[in-house]
Structures are given as structure tokens and as C-alpha cells.
Structure 1
């Protein structure tokens, strides 16, 4: 019995496979197969916020109730300590090493979306510490900013740097929001 029967590739698997497939040489007399790449959401689209509409006069329309904003807070210290000690399980992890910002963004979004759909509560996002030249890594700086943007707010409740044995400042504990019934 084939264990992989009926399973499809995850977004993470597709990105990894496309990176490997680009380095392969086709057999003699054959051409590279063309596989359509998934269309990632560009960072510019995701980071741009919708501009507010001009204010209307109060007489022309009834007051509109504003939806609750999903504010993001830092992970509380007791929860951080429990994750670091292993008393709370890390239910998923994603490694963004070696990816471009666009690849990392789309992989992170799809991973967090799947984890939220599977009702995971705590996940580990590994960004890496950056270049060895002493500067901060691009993903290390960008990922916390991405988690605070509009596409991620419905998924992410809070985040904080991981404990040393989980990657330290090169990784983040992320608490996902509970699914609404």
C-alpha cells in the first residue's frame, strides 16, 4: 500500500521541489517539463494598507459600527517559559532559511493559514540569525513586521523570540488565534 496515495504537495514542498528541479539536468533528448509556479502574494500588496475613504456627513448616512481591531501583543512570560521548557507543545514549525523574501512571505502565510485551519495553537518560525558579517538578517527583521500586517492579523495572536535551544533570536514562537465557531 502506498502511504502517499491521495496526498498532495504542500506549498512548502512545492517551493522546495521547484528549487531542486531548477538544478536538475534533463535526460539526453528531453526538455525540462514546464510546471506552473504558484502565484505568491507580493510583499508590496500585502504590506500596503487600504486608504481610508473621505469622511461623509453625519446626516447622509447612519453611524457605522467599526469592527474590532485584532491587536497583536507580545507573548506573555509564563507562556514563553512553558514553551521553552517543553511544557507546552510546539505543534508545527517552518524553516525559512535560504529563501528570498517573496518565497519566505508566501511560505509563511500558507504555513500559518494551514496551521490555523488545523487548530494548532503554538508554532515555531525559524528565520535564521542573518549574515555572518555582523548585520541582522533580512528575514529576522522582516518576519515580525509581516506578522503585524493585515493578512496575518486574523491568524496570529502574538509572537516572541524563541528560547536558545529552539533557535534564540533566529526563531519565533507564534501563538495562533483560535478558530471562530
Structure 2
């Protein structure tokens, strides 16, 4: 809605009304009434300069990559080392042999979670330090779409379960397994000592 300017008659009529009206609060100083507000000036939008591109010419720069959420493997590799550095490097190279193994292949989430809890807590109680949890890599999705979906439900859920109670107090370090022990489809779980 655009404002129109008041005519001289309308301004004169308004002044007569304000002179005859009684003030509601006479102790408050009277202000000068503005006549009309100036029309706001439109701001000019800057023009985007498009440069010509010839065939064979190099592009100006690399396009920015999308900032997607890192995969579970990438986020586990980025976590700081909580255990002995020498033992951690041996474990990452596949030189440490796991003392126990849990295979979750073919299990559903509702049966895999209690099985994992029972396995980790019993392994810690028996004094084991390094166990292997095999989740599998997961199936490729049949429906490719615009929204990326993580591959493998258990592969994504197991690290989260290991960081939540009651397993968080038992687990010292979680890292993807060496290729000889299952690669991205398995995790090394280094347990704390029972005190």
C-alpha cells in the first residue's frame, strides 16, 4: 500500500481539530506534529557481472564442496586416542589379536542391542581388553534419491550404542577394524580394566 500526500485542506482540517481538542495529559510537553513523511527511496540492487567463458579456457576456481555429515568411519577416525598410543597403532595395523568376537550379521536392531550390551559387559568382567564387533557393511539401497541415506543400520548404530550407558563406562576406544579383521564392516572395541 503506497502513501498518498495530504492535501492542503486536509492539513488545515487536522490543525483545527488538534487546536480544539483537549489534551489527555497536559503536563506532558506538546510535540510538533509532522506534516507528511517523505516517500522512501528504493535501493538499487547491484548488477551481477557475468564474464564470458570461451571453450578451452580454464575455469575460475574450484567449486565449494557440500558440507555433508561425515560417515561413521570418518568420525571414529577423527576422535582423539584415549588408550596407549603404541597399542593403538598396533591395533590399527591389525597386529593385536582380538580376545573376543561378536558377529551381528543378520540381526535386527531390537535383538542386536541387548546382545551387544551382554557381550561387552561380560567381556569386561572376564578381563578382556580388545574385542571385535562385526556389523557388516550393509546393503546398498534399492532407491537412489536426492537424500543420502547411510549404508547399514547396525554399522551406524553400534558406535552410538557404545557411547551411551551402560556401555560408555566399559568402553575406552572404538575404531574401525583392520582389513584383515573385517575392515569397515567391523569395529575394534578397547575395554577399560575392571577396578
| TM-score, structure 1 normalization | 0.55
3-state SS of 1:107 partner: helix
Matches within 5 A, 1:23-62: none
Work out whether 1:167 is the aligned partner of 2:182. Answer: yes
Matches within 5 A, 1:1-181: 74=81, 78-133=86-141, 135-180=150-195
For 1:121 and 1:178, the matched residues in 2 are separated by 7
3-state SS of 2:174 partner: strand
For 2:81 and 2:136, the matched residues in 1 are separated by 20
Q: Which runs of 5+ in 2 are unaligned?
A: 1-78, 143-149
Which protein has the larger Cα radius of gyration, Structure 1 or Structure 2? Answer: 2
Q: Which runs of 5+ in 1 are unaligned?
A: 1-71
Deviations 1:134-173 (A, max 9, x none): 8510000000000000211121111100011111111000
3-state SS of 1:141 partner: helix
3-state SS of 1:123 partner: strand
Tell me how large the CA RMSD over aligned residues is: 2.2
Deviation at 1:121, TM superposition (A): 0.2
Deviation at 1:115, TM superposition (A): 0.3
CA change 1:160–1:152 in 2 (3 A) is same
For 2:109 and 2:94, the matched residues in 1 are separated by 30
Corresponding residue pairs, total: 109
For 1:122 and 1:102, the matched residues in 2 are separated by 25
- Asked if structure 2 preserves the Cα contact closer than 8 Å seen for 1:92 and 1:115, the reply is yes
